[in-house]
């Protein structure tokens, strides 16, 4: 910047030397031309931004001008009016007043959660639910929070029910069935296990084992389950199964007689029967892949012990880490001693209160 200032001073001194050699008439004509150019530029261009070097040169040159011209150059009527407006604004401008305190982040998160989990709730319904919990929040504030989170209003928030939500809603009335096989240790004979799972409670029924799961055998097993359920059969409306040949028309007829509709999953889509497939994975990882099965009698005994553990003692994540039908009371860890109970020759451990 200092080089720029020296450069400007040099140019002005050079211009001054040139002016000394010119006549007064030529100077006056040039002055009129320059004034007209300045007037045109002021009309067509915005106010120029001057750096400190330009301001220094102007300040030095203005001191050489007559007093009347200097006053006209430095202060214009528009400048005086602008200064007056600023003075009045400074007098009547009050400090910024803060409005209502912002909504707590925890309450804002709760509002977003309520709107996400309840697609039909409007602003007033969320406001009432918050009031029930002891939080007074205006409907307009709720609208602003949801708008900031890009959550649309209730009519446009959700137009259809997802499959996940539909299955969760219908879970208590659904059954799922499937087969899985176990190969014997020495004979390599393949034994098929047929089971039915109550989707809502995750309670599993192992209906039987066989080496030839034909349609007649499968139909008889489902008939035995209907008899075993008794009056509880009215709690179920659907049974999910695959398209295997073991499920004959008589199989579906037995279920239809008690009001249970059979739902066949699409071909080559085992994920559509995910509940039954998950039990197969659990049974394999916890039992079948960790011990050798000698014969069908041995498999039945092992499955009976494992199913008792699965239904009564094993925690399930889908049930908030509770078994389908707990067979134990809550234990006070401070007053009672906990002991380990070994099942299936130490393959599975259970923990219960010591006597």
33 and 146 within one domain: no
* Structure tokens, 101: 């305190």
- Please name the helix (run of DSSP H) or strand (run of DSSP E) that holds residue 102, with its range, or none: none
234 and 140 within one domain: no
Residue where a domain stops, chosen among 114, 135, 157: 157
182 and 322 within one domain: yes
* Structure tokens, 104: 């707590």
**Looking at the domain assignment, is residue 112 inside a domain?**
yes
Other C-beta atoms closer than 10 Å to the C-beta of 62 total: 12
264 and 219 within one domain: yes
173 and 62 within one domain: no
Query: Which residues have CB under 8 Å from 24's CB, separation 6+?
Result: none
In this prediction, residue 292 carries a pLDDT of 92
181 and 145 within one domain: no
**Looking at the domain assignment, is residue 145 inside a domain?**
yes
204 and 119 within one domain: no
In this prediction, residue 252 carries a pLDDT of 95
**240 SS3 class:** strand
313 and 200 within one domain: yes
**Looking at the domain assignment, is residue 355 inside a domain?**
no
173 and 143 within one domain: no
In this prediction, residue 277 carries a pLDDT of 95
The CATH number given to whatever domain includes residue 260 is 3.30.420.10
**Looking at the domain assignment, is residue 320 inside a domain?**
yes
What stretches of the chain adopt beta strand conformation (E)? Answer: 174-183, 190-198, 203-210, 238-241, 261-264, 338-343, 348-353
Assign residue 150 a region: left if phi > 0, alpha if psi is -120 to 50, beta otherwise?
left
Taking a C-beta distance cutoff of 8 angstroms, is the pair 241, 222 a contact? Answer: no
Domain count for the chain: 3
Write out 29-69 in H/E/C secondary structure: HHHHHHHHHHHHHHHHCCCCCCCHHHHHHHHHHHCCCCHHH
**Looking at the domain assignment, is residue 333 inside a domain?**
no
Rounded Cα distance, 119 and 155, in Å: 8
300 and 205 within one domain: yes
**Looking at the domain assignment, is residue 211 inside a domain?**
yes
In this prediction, residue 214 carries a pLDDT of 94
Strand 238-241 versus strand 174-183 pairing type: parallel
Taking a C-beta distance cutoff of 8 angstroms, is the pair 287, 193 a contact? Answer: no
Residue that has been written with the tokens 């890009």 in this structure: 150
N- to C-terminal Cα separation, the chain: 92
Taking a C-beta distance cutoff of 8 angstroms, is the pair 316, 202 a contact? Answer: yes
CA 159-163-164 angle, 5° bins: 110
238 and 111 within one domain: no
In this prediction, residue 7 carries a pLDDT of 73
**285 SS3 class:** helix
In this prediction, residue 235 carries a pLDDT of 92
Tens-digit pLDDT profile for residues 317-334: 888 888 898 876 655 545
**Looking at the domain assignment, is residue 354 inside a domain?**
no
Rounded Cα distance, 36 and 22, in Å: 21
In this prediction, residue 347 carries a pLDDT of 75
In this prediction, residue 1 carries a pLDDT of 57
In this prediction, residue 329 carries a pLDDT of 64
Q: Provide the domain limits for residue 24.
A: 2-78
In this prediction, residue 281 carries a pLDDT of 94
- With 0-12 / 13-18 / 19 or more C-beta atoms within 10 angstroms meaning exposed / middle / buried, residue 306 is buried
172 and 152 within one domain: no
**Looking at the domain assignment, is residue 152 inside a domain?**
yes
Residues of the chain with pLDDT under 50: 74, 333
Rounded Cα distance, 37 and 24, in Å: 20
């Amino acid at each position: 910047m200092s080089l720029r200032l020296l450069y400007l001073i040099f140019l002005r001194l050079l211009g001054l030397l040139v002016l000394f050699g010119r006549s007064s008439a030529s100077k006056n004509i040039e002055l009129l031309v320059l004034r007209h150019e300045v007037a045109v530029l002021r009309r067509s261009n915005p106010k120029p931004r001057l750096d400190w070097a330009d301001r220094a040169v102007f300040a030095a040159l203005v001191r050489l001008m007559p007093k009347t011209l200097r006053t006209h150059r430095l202060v214009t009527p528009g400048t005086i009016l602008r200064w007056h407006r600023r003075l009045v604004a400074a007098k009547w401008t009050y400090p910024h007043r803060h409005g209502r305190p912002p909504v707590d982040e925890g309450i804002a998160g709760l509002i977003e959660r309520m709107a996400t989990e309840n697609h039909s709730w409007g602003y007033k319904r969320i406001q009432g639910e918050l009031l029930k919990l002891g939080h007074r929040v205006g409907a307009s504030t709720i609208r602003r929070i949801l708008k900031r989170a890009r959550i649309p209003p209730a009519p446009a928030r959700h137009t259809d029910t997802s499959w996940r939500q539909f299955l969760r809603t219908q879970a208590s009335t659904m059954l799922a069935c499937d087969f899985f096989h176990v190969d014997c240790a020495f004979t390599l004979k393949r034994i098929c296990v047929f089971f039915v799972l109550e989707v809502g409670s995750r309670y599993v029924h192992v209906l039987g084992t066989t080496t030839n799961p034909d349609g007649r055998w499968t139909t008889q097993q489902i008939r035995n389950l209907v008899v075993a359920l008794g009056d509880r059969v009215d709690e179920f409306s659907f049974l999910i199964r695959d398209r295997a040949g073991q499920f004959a028309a008589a199989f579906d007829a037995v279920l239809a007689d008690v009001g249970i509709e059979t739902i066949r999953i699409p071909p080559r889509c085992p994920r559509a029967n995910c509940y039954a497939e998950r039990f197969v994975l659990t049974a394999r990882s916890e039992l079948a892949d960790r011990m050798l099965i000698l014969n069908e009698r041995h498999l039945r005994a092992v499955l009976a012990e494992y199913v008792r553990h699965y239904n009564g003692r094993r925690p399930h994540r889908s049930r908030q880490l509770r078994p389908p039908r707990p067979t134990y009371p809550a234990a006070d860890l401070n007053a009672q001693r906990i002991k380990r109970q070994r099942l299936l020759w130490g393959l599975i451990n259970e923990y219960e209160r010591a006597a």
